[in-house]
Structure 1
């Protein structure tokens, strides 16, 4: 729900900002497998909260975590290059599209201007959109590498809205992770949650959502447009 004091009721949604991982492609398990395997090659292990912390982090943030906190004996820049190359190879051989996600993007794009606000590196964003046939679907695509702070900070959503030309209050975000939901909520967008079955968001993050759906394919232009119209 909208936060108390925010004059958002009665404001129709005019644009939509999608997350990528966990919303359009189901890659959280791939990311975890690749990064755990990489860390293990250096006889290191994830910390108890490593996976949760890295969901939504920008590339410099998660590579810094693996280098400094987990202890991989490589620079953050080297860690990022190593892991991203492995992820890109996975995407070239098999892109794990979420069922109905491409059709949903196209369906909402007939009604709303669309942006993409992702924690993935630019290299991976461009590859996914090309493989999925969605390169022309978004007016704006943005990586958290390209803003000062990654999710849960609001930077990527604020910048995406600015580039689209809409105030955050009339934009909706489609997110799955705790940090993504927090980022969208902090930016003032209407939050649509599509909780991941294996990595569900924390209760406090899910509470920020104005709409919760089981599958991204449940989203229609009518449902999105009416989020704040009551």
Structure 2
């Protein structure tokens, strides 16, 4: 049977608005008052730590990146617990796979505390009990480390895993891990990114086009079909 590894932010849940707002507040506190959503969108799919390292260099911020990370995490957690929504069709896919007994995990660039806050806040924690944060591995996406660790915890070979991703760095990480990839681009205009070319199933229209039933059928085909059909 195939094992399924979900990215969290922008894939399972629409947390990007919370990441933008927490980042905007942090940058404003350090003298950058005009950070826009368009600027934030360039970093979608990259871990928070890596993003802050790039922003620190770009804006010449004096604060240590560890301080920036602590400030943004605190702001994000405040928002995550009460303002995060799971994408309905994606929740439907998780429920369908759970009913089939499919091994599942979350592998995210977010902190462990943020992952737990989002899963608890959206009620997905009961269905997704295995989670890996990029903080727990050596390298974040597009390196494959977080997906390989998730497979290890599930007791699954990488080749028998499928990753569900919304961003180019995650799609590259899935390929580097030797895993199948189901891509649902968070930013629809990024669907033509070469990183998505290797996806086994691409919903180019993003969440508006995503179908839990179609995804379930494709995932089943990777393992030779679901036992008992349906």
Question: Aligning the two structures, in what range does the TM-score lie when normalised by the shorter sequence?
Answer: 0.7 to 0.9
Structure 1 residues 80 and 57: alpha-carbon distance in aligned structure 2, compared to 1, 3 A threshold: same
1:31-180 aligned within 5 A: 31-44=19-32, 51=40, 54-111=43-100, 112-180=102-170
Residue 219 of structure 2 corresponds to residue 224 of structure 1? yes
RMSD across aligned C-alpha pairs, in angstroms?
2.5
The partner residue of 2:184 within 182, 194, 201 is: 194
Structure 1 residues 218 and 212: alpha-carbon distance in aligned structure 2, compared to 1, 3 A threshold: farther
Work out the CA distance in 1 between the residues paired with 2:83 and 2:165: 23
Residue 161 of structure 1, CA deviation = 0.7
Structure with greater helix share of residues: 2
TM-score, with structure 1 as normaliser: 0.83
Gaps of at least 5 residues in structure 2 are 204-208, 226-230
Gaps of at least 5 residues in structure 1 are 1-12
Question: Is the contact between residue 59 and residue 145 of structure 1 (CA under 8 Å) also seen in structure 2?
Answer: no
Match of 1:8 in 2: none
Work out the CA distance in 1 between the residues paired with 2:184 and 2:6: 11
Question: Is the contact between residue 190 and residue 228 of structure 1 (CA under 8 Å) also seen in structure 2?
Answer: no
Match of 2:13 in 1: 25
TM-score, with structure 2 as normaliser: 0.83
Work out the CA distance in 1 between the residues paired with 2:56 and 2:99: 43
Structure 1 residues 203 and 56: alpha-carbon distance in aligned structure 2, compared to 1, 3 A threshold: closer
Question: Is the contact between residue 66 and residue 79 of structure 1 (CA under 8 Å) also seen in structure 2?
Answer: no
Relative to structure 2, which stretch is displaced further, 107-116 or 35-44?
35-44
Match of 1:5 in 2: none
